């Protein structure tokens, strides 16, 4: 049983055959183009940031609309008031599998028009600066430093992953209207964030692995826990156990499956009744995958859909429970979940939310983020304006990325290749 992605390059340093690379990059770029509003060839790309995780690469870059420079913007940094030009344009988002980093490199080369004719005016020099150094976070910023230098001549300016996750989350929670929401009983409800009452909270980032971070303010945080049972576990075990063709297919299958075929329920152990004395209903999962032990069936006799559902349930439940226990450790009532594992998937969010609600007896709240997977890369993007972090509390609307209300609304369903209107301060 193999997934389609098995054909991805194992060793990304091996050059991809040119034709294959061209084909894949044009597919990828075409997909990007079709999702993006048309971009004039004179649009200049500046400010690119990348988050290279264990499973996925997230890319954010700003393309300035031609003639968009406005003077007179000011931001207050630790070194005093600064006057900056304001550049209008679009912020673009893209995502690639880390095993297919060559496609990402081709994409960056295409977008930055690397290798094109040089121009010696000051604007071009400025843009050349952005083309030679990009902000990078995630473990891959270390792992692939040489590859970026060799293939694109780009240096990765590294920013700490936890730092970026926190600044990305704080920024989104403060600057984007309707960023956080709860998900219970199939109902999505947006949460109004009171900026003066945001901290402390627990940020749980479910990427390949899971990091749990207690956030007390801008740049004030501690990674208090983590678990290796995360998104990579779901994806990896899903590939082994099911006939999935992609991650999305695995998620889709989990939607259709019945976990009771695989999981041992309290009722299976207690002859169909609740274990009421300790508050366990007959339908509670007593043992994930536990029913398989007594079945005399081969793997192939199980439906992929059922296996996918049990797996998703087991991992989401476990993360919800560990998150709650950490929130309890520090007396935190709010838990924000991010990371691409969630993918806005109803069943995942429902399972996590129910776990938090169940274990906390309704005391703690699980909240999800519209831009779940882009926290780290947004944090890295914003680190272009290092001092801005100090501005955030009082002047977050003057943060380097300024999203208008209109733009914020269009952020809904922002995923893979997409873009939003925004402006940045150029120091």
Ligand X SMILES: Nc1ncnc2c1ncn2[C@@H]1O[C@H](COP(=O)(O)OP(=O)(O)O)[C@@H](O)[C@H]1O
Ligand Y SMILES: CC(C)(COP(=O)(O)O)[C@@H](O)C(=O)NCCC(=O)O
Residues lying near ligand X in the complex (CB under 6 A): 53-56, 97, 138, 207-208, 231-232, 234-235, 247, 339-341, 343, 373
CB 46, min distance to ligand X, A: 24
Say how far apart CA 343 and CA 338 lie, in whole Å: 9
- Integer Cα distance of 98 and 105 in angstroms: 11
Given the complex with ligand X, which of 46 and 55 has the nearer CB atom? 55
Comparing C-alpha atoms, which of 51, 55, 89, 141 is closest to residue 371?
Answer: 51
Which of ligand X, ligand Y, none binds 107 (CB below 5-8 Å, type-dependent)?
Answer: none
d(CA 70, CA 64) in angstroms, rounded, equals 12
Q: How far is the CB of 124 from ligand Y (least distance, A)?
A: 35
Residue 343 binds which of ligand X, ligand Y, none (CB < 5-8 A, kind-dependent): ligand X
Helical residues (DSSP H) of 331-413, grouped into ranges: 346-359, 375-382, 388-395, 405-409
Taking CB within 5 to 8 Å according to partner kind, which of ligand Y, ligand X, none is near residue 211? ligand Y
For 188-217, give the DSSP string: EEE----GGG--SEEEEEESSSEEEEEEEE
Residue 267 interacting entry, from ligand X, ligand Y, none, C-beta within 5 to 8 Å by type: none
Least distance to ligand X, CB of residue 231, Å: 3
In the complex with ligand Y, the residue whose CB is nearer, 46 or 98, is 98
Q: What dihedral do alpha carbons 36, 37, 42, 44 form, nearest 10°?
A: -50
- Residue 307 CB, shortest distance to ligand Y, in Å, is 23
Residue closer to ligand X by CB (options 101, 215) is 101
Residue with Cβ nearer ligand X (57 or 356): 57
Footprint of ligand Y (CB under 6 A):
53-54, 138-139, 207-211, 226-228
Position closest to ligand X via CB: 53
Rounded least distance, CB 295 to ligand X, Å: 27
**Spatial separation of the C-alpha atoms in residues 243 and 251, rounded to whole Å:** 12
Cis before 63? omega within 30: no
Residue 206 near residue 233, CB atoms below 8 Å: no
Alpha carbon distances (Å) from 244 to 5, 89, 178, 249, 304: 10, 39, 33, 6, 8
Nearer to ligand Y, 84 or 170 (CB): 170
Residue number, 267 or 373, with CB nearest to ligand X: 373
Closest separation in Å from C-beta 50 to ligand Y? 13
Query: Cα-flanking dihedrals φ and ψ of residue 257, to 5°?
Result: -80, 175
3-state SS assignment for residue 87: strand
> Whose Cβ is closer to ligand X: residue 234's or residue 381's?
234
List the single partner that 56 binds among ligand Y, ligand X, none, CB under 5 to 8 Å by kind.
Answer: ligand X
Closest approach of ligand Y to the CB of residue 32, in Å? 23
């Amino acid at each position: 049983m193999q997934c389609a992605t098995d054909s991805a390059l194992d060793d990304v340093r091996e050059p991809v055959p040119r034709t294959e690379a061209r084909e894949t990059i044009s597919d990828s770029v075409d997909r990007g183009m079709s999702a993006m509003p048309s971009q004039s060839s004179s649009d200049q790309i500046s400010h690119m940031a990348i988050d290279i995780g264990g499973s996925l690469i997230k890319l954010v870059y700003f393309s300035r609309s031609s003639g968009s420079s406005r003077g007179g913007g000011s931001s207050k940094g630790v070194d005093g008031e600064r006057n900056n030009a304001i550049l209008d344009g679009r912020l673009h988002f893209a995502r690639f599998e880390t095993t297919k980093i060559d496609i990402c490199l081709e994409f960056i080369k295409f977008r930055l028009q690397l290798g094109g004719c040089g121009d010696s005016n000051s604007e071009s020099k400025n843009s050349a600066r952005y083309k030679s150094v990009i902000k990078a976070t995630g473990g891959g910023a270390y792992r692939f430093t040489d590859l970026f230098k060799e293939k694109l001549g780009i240096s990765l300016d590294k920013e700490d992953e936890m730092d970026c996750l926190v600044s990305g989350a704080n920024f989104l929670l403060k600057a984007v209207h309707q960023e956080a929401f709860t998900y219970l009983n199939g109902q999505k409800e947006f949460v109004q964030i009171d900026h003066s009452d945001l901290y402390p909270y627990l940020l749980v980032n479910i990427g390949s692995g899971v990091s749990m971070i207690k956030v007390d303010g801008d740049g004030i945080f501690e990674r208090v826990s983590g678990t290796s049972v995360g998104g990579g576990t779901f994806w990896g075990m899903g590939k082994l156990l099911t006939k999935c063709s992609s991650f999305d297919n695995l998620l889709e299958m989990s939607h259709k499956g019945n976990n009771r075929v695989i999981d041992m329920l309290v009722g299976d152990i207690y002859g169909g009744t609740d274990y009421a004395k300790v508050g366990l209903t007959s339908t509670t999962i007593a043992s994930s995958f536990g029913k398989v032990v007594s079945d005399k069936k081969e793997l192939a006799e199980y439906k992929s859909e059922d296996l996918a559902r049990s797996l998703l349930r087991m991992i989401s439940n476990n993360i919800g429970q560990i998150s709650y226990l950490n929130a309890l450790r520090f007396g935190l009532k709010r838990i924000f979940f991010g990371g691409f594992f969630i993918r806005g998937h109803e069943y995942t969010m429902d399972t996590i939310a129910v776990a938090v609600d169940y274990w906390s007896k309704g005391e703690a709240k699980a909240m999800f983020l519209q831009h779940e997977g882009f926290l780290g890369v947004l944090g890295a993007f914003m680190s272009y304006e290092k001092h801005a972090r100090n501005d955030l509390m009082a002047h977050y609307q003057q943060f380097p990325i300024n999203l208008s209300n209109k733009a914020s609304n269009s952020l809904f369903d922002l995923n893979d290749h997409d873009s939003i209107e925004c402006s940045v301060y150029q120091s």
